[in-house]
Amino acid sequence: MGHGHFNGVKTAMLFGLLGGVVLLASWLLFGGSQQGLLVGLVIALVVNGIAYWTSGSVAVRAMRARPVTEAEQPAMHRIVRELSERAGQPMPQLYVSPTSAPNAFATGRNPKNAKVCATQGILDILDERELRGVLGHELMHVYNRDILTSSIAAAMASVITYLAYIAMFFGGGDRERPNPLAAMLILFLGPVAAGLVQMAISRTREYDADEDGAQLTGDPLALASALSKLERGVQARPLAPEQQLQNSSHLFIANPFRAADVKSLFATHPPMAERIARLEAMAYGYRQR
């Protein structure tokens, strides 16, 4: 079950744009030298590789989540088992966070290492049909390898920052040292440009997971209804914007912070109204068949 063709093409174009920013930064700072780019790539890949391998544990710990048995959460287990079997994938580990902020997230390098977490807040406000829509969305993040996608995007974005610092403080001799103005521009504007593209990739993956999750469950309106409740619930009971949670915010089905705490340009999630409208359009299309 693949994601939508348009969003797949859009993701590829955004990766191409992000790669272009990296190459432009390297050219401006090092006059076409590949040495600085290589050093920046190695540093960024190591840092983000560690984040990729530990992202699941970090997010689960930050939310104080614990694994739950089928006796504790029978509906959650029943839904995830059914959807996993339908997708032909292994059953992930299920977690519940005690926080009253309504949300859910999935993480894991692949389906065999997947974790799906729901907060107590989301379990309190959603009915079983809506919860099924949310869990289908989260499973598709795992099946679409979105953790890998976001890790690569983060690595490429980090390269630009590392390149600028390397150029500013560890440039070669006078003839090799980069143009100070170019270095300053890349230092301050490069990460902004890369961050915008990285966030655009995250928003595209949310659309993909909405669409694919709705196809997996066969019930787009269930997810639309859940997102509507989540939008109100998050505004009433947001998470505190701690750094650990900010670094993991792209994992959640809904932006876990108040709108005022997140700059719209750097939001990792598309507007909820647009996501709901897309799902309603899908449901209308299903009824027409």
User: Which residues are tagged catalytic?
Assistant: 138
Euclidean distance between CA atoms 190 and 184, whole angstroms: 9
Tokens of 206: 């949310």
Measure Cα distances from 147 to 25, 212, 237, 263, 264 in Å. 26, 16, 26, 23, 22
Q: Encoding tokens for residue 159? A: 């390269």
Q: Helices 146-170 and 128-143: crossing angle, nearest 10°?
A: 50
Q: Are 215 and 1 in contact (CB under 8 A)?
A: yes
Dihedral-angle region of residue 88 (phi above 0 means left; psi in -120 to 50 means alpha; beta otherwise)? left
Q: DSSP per residue over 229-254, as a string?
A: HHHHHHHHSPPP--HHHHHTGGGBSS
Phi, psi (rounded to 5 degrees) for 93: -75, 140
